[in-house]
Amino acid sequence: MAEDFTAERIDQDEKEKLMQLVGFTIGKEQFGVDILMVQEIIRSAPITSVPNSPDFIEGVINLRGNIIPVIELRKRLNLYNKETSEKDSWILILDIDSRVTGFIVDSVTKVMKILESTIEPPPEVVVAGLENQYIKGVCEIADTLMILLDFNRILLLDELRTLKKI
């Protein structure tokens, strides 16, 4: 009887250490974001350009009456530039410290559960060169590495101010 309780407790502890992620791609790279930040995922929507905005801000969209800034994640992360048509891309609508923001990604792969213990910290060499330490960690999923992004740190302070003005 005590063994059953112990097994149940271990299963409960493991469930508590599970993290749900939304996986997405930019080019050939796999990324993940905590599902608790994701409000919704939409196919590309008509984006209105905003004059004098930073290069990585594509513009704004009207989502059910709410004006939401949209960031091209490929440009923000300085990944190689691949021309994609708007039909091919998706927009992740995230809640970042009570600011709803859209991020354009190439595709959304799937929702997955991973053990927090399988997340490795990012290599020091990689993080040291970043202006902003927005890489939360790295984990292996189906023989490929997935980079977990911390969207709370993906924008610099002055960039956040610019977004508020938009």
Question: Per residue in 149-162, pLDDT tens?
Answer: 988 888 765 666 66
Taking residue 84's Cβ as centre, other Cβ atoms within 10 Å add up to: 17
Q: What is the pLDDT of residues 100-145, one digit of tens each?
A: 999 999 999 999 999 988 889 877 766 565 555 788 889 988 888 8
Q: What is the pLDDT of residue 35?
A: 94
- How many Cβ atoms sit within 10 Å of the Cβ of residue 32? 25
Banded model confidence at residue 166, pLDDT cuts 50, 70, 90: low
Give the position of tokens 């292996």: 140
Domains of the chain: 14-165 (2.40.50.180)
The mean pLDDT of 46-71, rounded to a whole number, is: 91
Q: What is the pLDDT of residue 122?
A: 79
Average pLDDT over the chain, rounded to an integer: 81
* Distance in angstroms (rounded) separating the CA atoms of residues 58 and 110: 25
Average pLDDT over residues 88-101: 89
What is the mean pLDDT of the segment spanning 26-41? 93
Give the start-end residues of each E strand in 18-152.
Answer: 18-26, 29-34, 38-43, 57-63, 66-72, 90-96, 99-105, 107-115, 135-141, 144-149
Q: What span, in angstroms and rounded, lies between the C-alpha atoms of 70 and 30? A: 20
pLDDT at 5 over 80: no
DSSP string for residues in 91-118: EEEEEETTEEEEEEESEEEEEEEEEGGG
159 class by beta-carbon count within 10 Å (0-12 exposed, 13-18 middle, 19+ buried): middle
Structure tokens at 111: 């929702």
pLDDT given at position 1: 47
